[in-house]
Amino acid sequence: MTKELDGLTAAEIVARSFPDGIVEVLASSIVIRTDLLAEVARYLHDTPGLSFNYLEGIASVDYIDYFEVVYNLVSLEENHSMVIKVQAYGREKPEVPSVVSIWKTADFQEREEYDLMGIVFTGHPNLKRIMLWEGFPGHPLRKDFLEFDHRNIAPAGD
Amino acid sequence: MNGDIHNFFNIDGAIVSALSGILPAWALVIVAGLIGIIALLVFLVPSQLATIWIERKLIGRFQIRYGPNRVGLFGLLQPLADAVKIVGKESITPAGVDKWVFWLAPIVTFIPALLVYAVIPFGPNLILADLDIGILYLISISSLGVIPVFMAGWSSNNKYALLGAMRSVAQMVSYEIPLVLSIISVVMMTGSLKIGEMVSFQADNLWMFLLQPLALLIFFISASAELNRTPMDIVEGESEIIAGYHTEYSGFKFSMFYVAEYTNVLAVSAILSAVFFGGWLSAPILDLLPAWLWFIAKIYFFFCVFVWIRATLPRMRADQLMGLAWKFLLPLALVNILVTGIEVYMNLHPLLISFINIALAIGLVAGWSELIGNRAVRNERRQYIPVVPVVR
Amino acid sequence: MLEQYGIITLLLVVAIIFPLGGIITSRLLQFLGARPDNPDPVKLDTYECGLETIGATWIRFNFRYYYYALLFVIFDVEAAFLFPWAVYFRQMQLFGLIEMAIFIAILTIGFVYAWKKHALEWV
Amino acid sequence: MYGLGIVKGMYTTLMHLVRPPFTRQYPEEPVPISQRFRGYDFAWVEERCTGCATCAKACPHGVIDIITESLGDNRYAVERFDIDIGLCMVCGLCVEACPYDALFMGIGFELSSDRRWDLVVHKEDIANRGKFSAYYRTPLKEKIADREEITEIYNPSTGQNTPHA
Amino acid sequence: MDTGTAIAFYILAGLTTISAIMVVSLRNIFHSVLFLVLSFAGIAGIYVTLNAEFVAAIQVLIYAGAIVVLMLFAMMLTTNAMTEGNPAGHLRPPAMLTAFLFFITVAYVGVVTPWQPRAASAPTDFSINGIADLLFNVYVLPFEISSVLLLVAMIGAIVLARD
Amino acid sequence: MVAQDSAIKTQPIVINMGPQHPSTHGVFRLRLVLDGETVIDVEPVFGYLHRSKEKLEEERTYLQTLPITDRMDYLSSMTNNLGCSMAIEKLANIPVPERAQYLRVIMAELTRISSHCFAQGMQLQEMGAWATPLMYFIREREKIIDLFEMVSGARLTFNYIRPGGVSQDIPPEFIPACYKFIDEMPGYIDEYEQLLVQNEILRSRTMGVGVLPRDLAINSGASGPVLRASGINWDLRKQDPYLVYDRFDFDVPVGQHGDTYDRFMVRMYEMRESVKIVRQALDQLPPGPVTANLPIVIIPPPGDAYAHIETARGTLGFYMVSDGGANPWRFHVRAPSLINLTALREMIIGHKVADTVVIFGSIDIVLGEVDR
């Protein structure tokens, strides 16, 4: 059975190296400082005993005030899992550091969140739209994306 | 030798002798030739339809489904319906093609396919042109088969077609050598290039597949590669390069490639049965049927074998296919030539030759494939149990 | 003998007329209206899995394809020598056998060299 | 030795050659259909329908169009009951949702049409067809019987299960 | 040589010549290669009219089959030459000069040669057995040396192309 | 002009494999750069089938989301329903009756068999086996679909597993039919192995082709048979047992080399293990209700929940955020097909064009799930 580390345990783990990195401790997850994400991720990935070597998924949520990116980490060696979240403010260009250099699996998932939610992952090697075509107006999974006129959308180019 | 024309077919001979007083000699040749060609077409055209039907039906039954069964009884009219449909199809000539070559390719593809039938003996003396160089003519003509394929692939201005054409040339280039070398060992035994005399040789001795099993294997593999049929249809491997060289073809022009393919399959079946399986000779006991019927029956049998192979095997990869030709078939063919030479020189009894050659074929194929083959592919037995527990 | 080649020429003519006649018939059907002919730019496009072709098609290929042709020519010439030998072999007895064994052996050296140099690998 | 695997495979296909075909000749040979099959062949019982539009609300794509007219006395006459089976994805949620067992799905599926608008079925097409659907639902009585066995019931306001009274 | 053969010869010779001219005059290399095939086939036909059917078959097998494949692959190594033809270069004047000198030589030889069939010394046996007899009994050494030539060609090709 | 590029250099040729290609499992595009026939670069392009399912789900009630999940991985819609239902149950704390859990296991494992059947058949089809293995595999898949039709009434999009259980109890004729199927199935698997596994062509086409090294497999987030073929013993049914998987005795086949052959064989063995699980589940099937008693509209409390299951393609995860309303605020799917493609580039480069389709087929994606 995968041991799901709850928020308190996770906070304790992260606080060992990043005492001021935790923004909020939730029941089953922690929110960490956005600018420290890459360092925290590297720490969680590399530290023996934690070795979160498997990034199961990246999800992002539009909470109107801010965007939240949820990372679901699993360690295949220790068989425990942990959820960390980061928050990105600003609707124009919400920025979150990319973790592609740590987990390659973040490549497509970050591109997907960029495409559909409009979160810019800084440091991503190839951040371009993945599902929709270049030139699509807006990011459809945002809550303020309501309707669009099909006639105004340029056909998909190559 | 010149007399062969006059008695290659009884009716033909009768007509020709009836006309011999009236017409000049060259006209007699044309009349005799035309009658022969018509006889050949009478065999080929229905065979086209029959083979298409047999292939579809047989593959259907291999795949535990019915196959065509809507048009006519057992779907017998299906190929006819296909033919009617394909004549009525729109013929698209894409914008970027090299028009002349694009138009010529389906016409040219038919020439080698039909010309090889000139030297195939359907019975004793039942041959269109009994050339001295029989089998060499056949090989020469079939070596031209690559040109229309390349014409089609190159002129289409399509990358898949071009890849298919390149593959086709390379494949033909690779398999022509073992094909020729396997035939040479047969020629060494018979001492003649005439296919008719090869059959007569088999009547006096054993059938050639017993005398030259290794040559049969090499010829069979090479010929099916030259035919571009599974498992060697890399030229038109639809899951890789769409349809290969005829990707851009449609309508009647496409059907010419199709027809030429089946014509070629029949030709190869015919050569197989003539050179290795006694041609028009009947099986030892059953001597009732006429010779040409035996021959056609053998052709259809080998056609069914080709269908069976096509229904079973996955396609080989291009480089593996080339490797098979150069590294496996070519050395074996060379060894076979040397061994056959020694055997012929020592004038051994056919039964002894057959015995030695069968043993040699099995030994060489097994030994050589073990030697050069990828051992992992052959021998590795992999375990699929959790060996390394990841989770503590 | 030439008569037989005359027949082959006839067969050649038939082999050209047959597909040509088919294509012309098919063309005639188009004029009669039995066969559609509605070209449009999209239909006449080169097939590239539904996209426009990227880059040129007629480009320079890998030169290793050239090995194959060279090796093929050499072995084809060898085969051309082998045919008369195979027919005439019985008259020559041991001398012929040795003669051809040397011939093949010399070419086998080249073959082994090509093998060792990985010239037989397809790219 | 190389080739034995190929020979085995060839043998397998040869053995399949003599097996009877597995496919069915569809239009002549009827396909056996499960009694629960959800087809487009809707059936609607006019007497039972109260026009509550629960089905329309349950439909994920909103393909059911209901217009009712008040008859007074808290009763409604269904004026229009259209189902666009061209958009319907046969999930069956409408049938499950109906509290009065008035809507069913039949096992018919051969309802293709040349025009999109022909795919909208009206209440006249599906009303009182006499052949009720085979789509399986627990009859109402059994549902009630089930409910008595249940000791806990889910309380959405608290998100907890509470003992069932 | 009877009339039929003569007619066949002139048709084939015309075909061969015209194809050969097309080979050098066409700008598209692939078209040139196709005419080269036709030209080879015409030559094979001429061999047939000379009763040399074995040579004809070898002509088709080696030239129309193998050499053309070599040409095709060589063609695939070129780039825009395929559609645009060869670009004019600074080698044009010497090439023209060489061609002109060659033409002069051939023309001179053609004019000077007494065109009399020397029936006595010409080989008469064109059958395979005759060729084999000459090749394997009379010209044994050239035959064996040809294998060395082939070997050198093979190794040379590999060495050259590998670099 | 003359002799300036006399060196014989190969020009790379750019080829689109897809979106309209006979072997791309839907509308998928691989932009290949070839040197001769060797792939020197590859870029997967997708999104042609994007239907914005996550957005669609946000506008529907929790029950209405299920028919839409059917259409994601349309070859195994039962497991999509299962994953979605489990996330909703986790979000709203819905208990699941035991009989329903067993039924879910049976359906999930039958789905795994049918999905693997299709994957194997298509894999052989892409190797050019001219549909014969595909027809044999589809024969089995059809039998499973008949079973599914018996319980759910549909043949492709079942909408059977629901939050709180399953939509309805199995009909009485299901159990004998299912027993009959699982009795026959091992024999058919033997037949497939006889047809394929020792076939030299298949072995040489797959062995050592498309190797996904162990570390890259973990790092690129591969899951399911792709991960296990690379030698990682990670199966959520064992490592994080959901439903009642911990009550069954089964093995997880794990490869060692991570090549296409291992992926092929892992699926082959998984079918056998699934048959074992179905048999045990049928033997132990308890009586009782099959669904929790739920209101028509499920309104979970605010919060988020993530549930993951092991489908035929890998780890399918559903992340749901509720704002306390009747519709999910956010509905995210961790699609195994999409994430297994991450390492595709590394697997393909250096191989031949013909290997591309084989490697691609061995990942076994469904475009409905990649693009959603």
Say if residue C58's pLDDT is above 90.
no
CATH of region E1-86: 1.20.120.1200
Residue D30 has pLDDT above 50, yes or no: yes
Percentage of the residues of chain F whose pLDDT score is greater than 90: 0
Q: Where are the domains of chain B?
A: 84-372
E61: its two tokens: 């097998």
Give C73 to chain F, closest Cα distance, Å: 21
Nearest CB partner across the interface for F127, out of B315, B318, B390: B315
pLDDT tens profile D111-125: 788 888 888 888 777
Q: How far apart are CA B330 and CA B340, in angstroms?
A: 15
A30-59 residue pLDDT tens: 888 888 888 888 888 888 878 888 888 888
pLDDT greater than 50 at residue B95: yes
pLDDT of residue B111: 87
- Check CB contact of C49 with chain E, cutoff 8 Å: no
Is the alpha carbon torsion for A40, A45, A48, A54 positive or negative? Answer: positive
The strand ranges marked E within chain B are none
Does domain A3-145 sit in CATH 2.60.120.460? no
Dist CA C43 CA C36 (whole Å): 13
Q: Is the pLDDT of residue E150 over 90?
A: no
Q: Write the pLDDT tens digit of every residue in F73-89.
A: 888 888 888 988 988 88
Interface mutation target, options A71, A108, A145, chain F, most CBs of F under 10 Å: A108
CB contact under 8 A, A78 and B392: yes
Give the whole-angstrom CA distance, residue D131 versus residue D107.
10
- The secondary structure of residue E110, as a DSSP letter, is H
Per-residue pLDDT, E107: 92
pLDDT of residue E100: 92
The closest alpha carbon to B244, from B312, B173, B169, B294, belongs to B169
**Chain E partners within 8 Å of C70 (Cβ):** 70, 153-154, 157
**Cα(C64)–Cα(E160) distance, rounded to whole angstroms?**
11
Write out residues 353-392 of B within 8 Å (CB-CB) of A.
Answer: 390-392
Average pLDDT on B325-336 reads 87
Q: Best mutation site among E3, E30, E63 for testing chain B: the one with the most B CBs within 10 Å?
A: E30
Is F9 touching C (CB cutoff 8 A)?
yes
Quick: pLDDT tens for D50-64: 888 888 888 888 888
Please answer yes or no on whether C122 and B170 come within 8 Å at the CB atom. Answer: yes
Chain F residues in contact with chain E using a Cβ-Cβ cutoff of 8 Å = 1-3, 8, 11
Residues of A in contact with B388 (CB under 8 A): none
DSSP-based helix, strand, coil % in chain D, nearest 5? 25, 20, 55
The pLDDT of residue E105 is 93
User: What is the tens place of the pLDDT at every residue in B108-149?
Assistant: 888 888 888 888 888 777 777 777 788 888 888 888 888 888
For the whole model, what pTM was predicted? 0.85
Tokens of E96: 């023209």
Rounded to whole angstroms, how far apart are CA atoms F349 and F343? 11
Domain ranges of chain D: 33-132
- The DSSP output letter for B226 is H
pLDDT given for residue F129 in this prediction: 79
Backbone angles phi, psi at B281, to 5 degrees: -65, 145
Note which residues in 39-68 of chain A have CB less than 8 A from chain F. 53-57, 59-62
D33-132: CATH, from 3.30.300.20, 2.60.40.180, 3.30.70.3270, 3.30.1340.10: 3.30.70.3270
DSSP one-letter code for A151: G
Would you say residue E101 has pLDDT above 90? yes
**ipTM over cut 0.90:** no
Q: What is the pLDDT of residues B365-375, one digit of tens each?
A: 888 877 777 66
Q: Quote the pLDDT of residue F5.
A: 43
One-letter-per-residue 3-state SS of B246-313: HCCCCHHHHHHHHHHHHHHHHHHHHHHHHHHCCCCCCCCCCCCCCHHHHHHHHHHHHHHHHHHHHHHC
pLDDT band at B61 (very low <50, low <70, confident <90, very high): confident
Q: What is the pLDDT of residues B186-213, one digit of tens each?
A: 888 888 888 888 888 887 777 888 888 8
Pinpoint the alpha helices (H) of chain A: 7-17, 37-46, 106-117
Q: D138 touching F, CB under 8 A? A: yes
- With a cut of 50, list the residues of chain A below it in pLDDT: 157-158
pLDDT of residue F154: 84
The 8-class DSSP code of residue D114 comes to: S
Residue written as token pair 């015209």 = E18
| pLDDT tens-digit map of B171-181 | 888 888 888 88
Least confident interval from B185-189, C119-123, D39-43: C119-123
Sign of CA dihedral B143, B144, B145, B146: positive
Question: What are the sequence ranges of the domains in chain A?
Answer: 3-145
Tens-digit pLDDT profile for residues B252-287 = 888 888 888 888 888 888 888 888 888 777 766 666
pLDDT at B10: 55
- Res B118: pLDDT: 84
Which chain A residues are within 8 Å of C52, Cβ to Cβ?
A: 158
> What are the structure tokens assigned to C15, written together?
């082999």
Q: Is C91 an interface residue toward B (CB < 8 Å)?
A: no
Could you give the CA distance from residue F75 to residue F157 in angstroms, rounded to a whole number?
A: 9
B30-46 average pLDDT score: 82
Domain segments of chain E: what residues? Answer: 1-86, 128-163
| Average pLDDT, integer, range B302-317 | 87
Whether B73 has its CB under 8 Å from any CB of chain A: the answer is no
Tens digits of pLDDT across chain F (372 residues):
333 344 456 677 788 887 877 777 778 888 888 877 788 888 888 888 888 888 888 888 888 888 888 888 888 888 888 988 988 888 888 888 888 888 889 999 999 999 998 888 888 888 877 788 888 888 888 888 888 888 888 888 888 888 888 888 888 788 888 888 888 888 888 888 888 877 888 888 888 888 888 888 888 888 888 888 888 888 888 888 888 888 888 888 888 888 888 888 888 888 888 898 898 888 888 888 888 877 778 888 888 888 888 888 888 889 988 888 888 888 888 888 888 888 888 888 888 888 888 888 888 888 888 888
CATH number of C61-123: 1.20.58.1610
Compare all CA atoms of chain C with the CA of E133 and give the residue at the minimum distance: C88
Mean pLDDT, range D68-82, rounded to an integer: 81
| The pLDDT of residue E102 | 93
